[in-house]
């Protein structure tokens, strides 16, 4: 069985992830394609294709007669034409839950940095401002404790629930919002407007759909507390980036941390890449702890091994 990982370098950093479980399942080849590259020349005779961001379009799938399984090395599989795969009797799998804890860790890394103004104070020290101080420390920025504050969660799936659990460990009050019933979670399902108005830290964990695109815009930001912190580790398009930049620069909210942008990698003209106050941007890296990437590839191996043994459990199609 020939197995081709079309964009291995999106998951493996300098060989740090052990791929032996996948490699033992067949003849393994690694590529370093970008999402815009044509995958066909690299996997023309492949039985199994592993992808992270490379697009498996109808055109590509129809040119791969040997293809039997596409493994998405991620949770979201919008880069795969599932209908085209179904029409060619090509199965598709994905991996869910591999990065829950590392994403939540990133959420609180951002939240703590913003609430304690870590980057601002670090920059001041680097510039020599503490050394010039006439007192033992510096009191320059407003900060606040998380204990006793409200942690709002938009999208109460696995990651949202884990974020809520950690927030409660900090002594925060959790408010959840989702489009599905939350009766089995022990949390009340608050309205979107209630979440906006009450949250001291608002964390976004919903998928990007036509209903959630620009969900947080100028109108939403105006309903938030001026002292509130906004964190987005979900998808960039959920937040209107121009409106967020304006809200931060005008002081309508206190700060924001975003791990995703509407176009990735970002292009010139993204309003969040200019001079924006109290903003932390990371390059879609919340999922990328070594532990999560190793777990991801171990789970991909499990999907391929199960398929090879004749099981179709856990497949999308």
Give catalytic residues, as residue numbers: 235, 264, 284
| CA atoms of 173 and 190, how far apart (whole Å) | 13
Q: Is 165 helix (H, G, I), strand (E, B) or coil?
A: helix
Asked if omega into 267 is within 30° of 0 (cis), the reply is no
Contact 236, 265 (CB under 8 A): no
Q: Are strands 69-72 and 48-51 parallel, antiparallel or unpaired?
A: parallel
Return the DSSP state at 149.
S
Contact 307, 67 (CB under 8 A): no
| CA atoms of 237 and 84, how far apart (whole Å) | 26
Asked if omega into 245 is within 30° of 0 (cis), the reply is no
Contact 241, 261 (CB under 8 A): yes
Q: Is 150 helix (H, G, I), strand (E, B) or coil?
A: strand
Structure tokens at 147: 């204990």
- Side by side, the strands of the sheet bearing 279-281 are 173-177, 150-154, 201-204, 229-232, 255-258, 279-281
Return the bridge partners of 256, or none: 230, 279
């Amino acid at each position: 069985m020939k197995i081709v990982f079309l964009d291995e370098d999106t998951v493996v950093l300098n060989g740090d992830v052990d791929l032996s479980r996948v490699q033992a399942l067949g003849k393994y080849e690694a590529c370093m394609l970008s999402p815009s590259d044509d995958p066909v020349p690299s996997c023309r005779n492949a039985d199994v294709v592993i992808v992270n961001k490379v697009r498996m379009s109808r055109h590509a799938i129809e040119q791969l007669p040997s293809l039997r399984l596409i493994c998405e090395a991620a949770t979201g599989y919008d880069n795969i034409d599932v209908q085209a795969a179904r029409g060619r009797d090509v199965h598709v799998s994905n991996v869910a839950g591999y990065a829950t804890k590392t994403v939540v860790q990133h959420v609180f890394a951002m939240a703590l940095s913003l609430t304690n103004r870590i980057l601002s104070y670090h920059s001041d020290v680097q510039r020599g401002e503490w050394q010039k101080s006439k007192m033992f420390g510096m009191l320059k920025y407003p900060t606040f404790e998380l204990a006793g504050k409200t942690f709002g969660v938009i999208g109460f799936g696995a990651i949202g629930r884990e974020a809520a659990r950690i927030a409660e460990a900090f002594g925060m009050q959790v408010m959840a919002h989702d489009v599905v019933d939350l009766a089995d979670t022990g949390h009340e399902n608050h309205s979107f407007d209630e979440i906006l108005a009450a949250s001291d830290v608002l964390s976004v964990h919903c998928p990007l759909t036509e209903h959630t695109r620009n969900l947080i815009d100028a109108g939403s930001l105006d309903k938030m507390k001026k002292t509130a912190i906004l964190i987005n580790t979900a998808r960039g398009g959920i937040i209107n980036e121009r409106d967020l930049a304006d809200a931060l620069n005008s002081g309508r909210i206190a700060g924001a941390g975003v791990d995703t942008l509407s176009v990735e990698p970002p292009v010139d003209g993204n309003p969040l890449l200019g001079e924006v106050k109290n903003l932390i941007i990371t390059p879609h890296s919340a999922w990328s702890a070594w532990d999560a990437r190793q777990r991801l590839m171990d789970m991909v191996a499990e999907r391929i091994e199960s398929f090879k043994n004749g099981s179709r459990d856990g497949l999308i199609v």
